Amino acid sequence: MSEILKISSVIKQDLKKVSLNKEETINLIKKNKKFNAYTSIVDNYTFFNKESCSPLFGIPYAVKDNINVEGTITTGGSLFLKNYISPYSAHLIKLLDKVGAIPVVKTNMDEFGLGGDGIYSAYGDVINPFDNTRITGGSSSGSAVLVAKKLIPFSIATDTGDSIRRPASLLGIFGFKPTYGLISRYGVFPYAPSLDHVGILANNIYDIALVSDVIVSHDEKDFTSQKIDSLKFIDTLSNFKDEDFKKYKICVIQNILDFASKKVQNEFLKLLKDNDIKFNLENLELDIIKLIPLAYKIISYSEAVSCYQNLTGITFGEKSNKKNYQEKIKDIRSKNLGFELKKRFIFGAYCTSEENYESIFLKSEAIRNKIVGQAKKIFLKYDFIIMPGSSSIAPLIKDVKAKKATTNLCDDYLQIANFGGFPSITIPALKIDKNFVGINICGKINSDNLLLAFANSFFKKYSEDI
């Protein structure tokens, strides 16, 4: 127990270095408006516990703008909800309220999370603070920028494909997506419920562990919430010894790594080899891994169109002046939803229409099953899969907008963790031509505490100096 308190006190000091108090944090964030990283500031939050003795007491944090925080405007990065005030807080926010952490800012994001580059928000592109000609990655782009600029100690965000881990890789920070069902999604806008996860972005793993100890908890209001014994993240982290690192078996998936840029491949393997990190190379069935992005697209778009049928402008959101009921809906949806969203909705509706359901949607589910089956076979032999956090440095915005730069299989590998619900963390590790590329570590279901401890040890030993 004393060890925990010792660590907690160190963390609190570390957190204080980043942001001294609520007001200073808010001022600092406002001064950095140029990054377009936030949609609104939360200045008068009154729901937190003023009596808490948690190390998170009084610590300001950021919330991705698709998570309800009572009394705040929650836009989801969409014009459709530009005036929507959350009537209640997400379960995880209430857990943070209890320990006295304070949400101070809602962060900009790709519209409803449907976009992976940080350039699909109705409120404008989020600016990469290290090179404004390059994307930040997304959809948790604003959260990642505030953390990367050390304007906020941590941000709560969501990850359906790689939305926490890809920006973490491109901006040189830590991004953690836990096992499916460990953090309640009650009060969080859905994108694709069978793939959606809530996670954390921060500048070190201790902070992630500290927050995880608070928000990893069963919630009866979320039908997919797991009921397991406490994972004791800080305990596991503090009990993990340097020599423990070598006990674990590591694998790199060769034929996915092959799709990364040559520079990323070389630097990644150099880091492992120079540090004498023991690992084995494995291959997944190539025909199947090539289908990861396709299966992801079909499944996530199909679930998204189902989730967002309630965006009618009748019960909530922006309203239309048209007289006819149908005209009202068409007017408000057409004016307030971005093209990326419309495209994904129509794509999803096409895949789930009666004539295509079996040949397209169910076939994609079978592919997902097969991919997860292969990943599980790997986890029978190994404890962790280690891969680059992204296939390249952050692409140029102009190339992404002109569709000259797209993600490839090495990026899409991250979606395996969403397909199977595996815990996955991206940590800062490489610098290529002055740009960040992280390393991603994926672990077994519900071994999240061990994953964080292992990743922390990896970072301290091999990549802290980047």
Question: Given the complex with other proteins, which of 47 and 350 has the nearer CB atom?
Answer: 350
| 311 Cβ contact list (under 8 Å, min separation 6) | 80, 317, 333, 337
Question: Given the complex with other proteins, which of 218 and 460 has the nearer CB atom?
Answer: 218
Pick the catalytic residue from 163, 212, 391, 392.
Answer: 163
Helix axes 205-215, 448-458, angle to 10 degrees: 170
Hey, CA dihedral for 367, 368, 370, 374, is it positive or negative? positive
Does the active-site annotation cover 139? yes
**Smallest distance from other proteins to CB 188, Å:** 17
- Residue 362 CA to residue 344 CA, distance in Å, equals 18
| Contact in structure between 424 and 161 (CB atoms under 8 Å) | no
**Smallest distance from other proteins to CB 352, Å:** 10
Question: Given the complex with other proteins, which of 103 and 293 has the nearer CB atom?
Answer: 293
Question: Given the complex with other proteins, which of 259 and 459 has the nearer CB atom?
Answer: 259
**Smallest distance from other proteins to CB 84, Å:** 16
**Smallest distance from other proteins to CB 158, Å:** 18
Helix (H) / strand (E) element for 262: namely helix 262-274
Question: Given the complex with other proteins, which of 206 and 345 has the nearer CB atom?
Answer: 345
Residue 309 in tokens: 């049928």
Does the active-site annotation cover 64? yes
- Burial bucket for residue 194 (CB in 10 Å: 0-12, 13-18, 19+): middle
CA atoms within 13 A on the CB side of 28: 17
Q: Which residue has the tokens 């595996």?
A: 422
Question: Given the complex with other proteins, which of 10 and 314 has the nearer CB atom?
Answer: 314
Pick the catalytic residue from 64, 94, 106, 177.
Answer: 64
- Residue 203 CA to residue 174 CA, distance in Å, equals 6
**Smallest distance from other proteins to CB 164, Å:** 20
- Residue 118 CA to residue 140 CA, distance in Å, equals 7
Question: Given the complex with other proteins, which of 294 and 466 has the nearer CB atom?
Answer: 294
Neighbour count for residue 217 (Cβ, 10 Å):
18
Hey, CA dihedral for 250, 253, 259, 262, is it positive or negative? positive
Helix (H) / strand (E) element for 61: namely strand 60-64
- Burial bucket for residue 241 (CB in 10 Å: 0-12, 13-18, 19+): exposed
Helix locations, 118-204, DSSP H: 141-148, 165-171
Question: Given the complex with other proteins, which of 432 and 445 has the nearer CB atom?
Answer: 445
**Smallest distance from other proteins to CB 325, Å:** 7
| Contact in structure between 68 and 86 (CB atoms under 8 Å) | yes
**Smallest distance from other proteins to CB 95, Å:** 19
Pick the catalytic residue from 54, 139, 212, 364.
Answer: 139
**Smallest distance from other proteins to CB 232, Å:** 17
Does the active-site annotation cover 230? no
- Residue 341 CA to residue 110 CA, distance in Å, equals 10
Spell out a b/e string for 423-457, using b for 16 or more CB atoms within 10 Å of the CB, else e: bbbbbbbbeeeebbbbbbbbbbbbbbbbbbbbbbb
**35 closest CA partner among 93, 112, 95, 121:** 121
**Smallest distance from other proteins to CB 335, Å:** 8
**Site residues for other proteins per CB under 8 A:** 179-181, 218, 220, 223-228, 287, 291, 294, 297-298, 305, 314-315, 325-326, 329-330, 333-334, 337, 339, 342-343, 345-347, 349-350, 353, 358, 360, 362-364, 366-370, 372-373, 419-421, 445-446
Question: Given the complex with other proteins, which of 35 and 345 has the nearer CB atom?
Answer: 345
Strand partners, 154: 202
First vs last Cα of the chain: how many Å apart?
Answer: 33
Residues marked as catalytic: 64, 139, 163
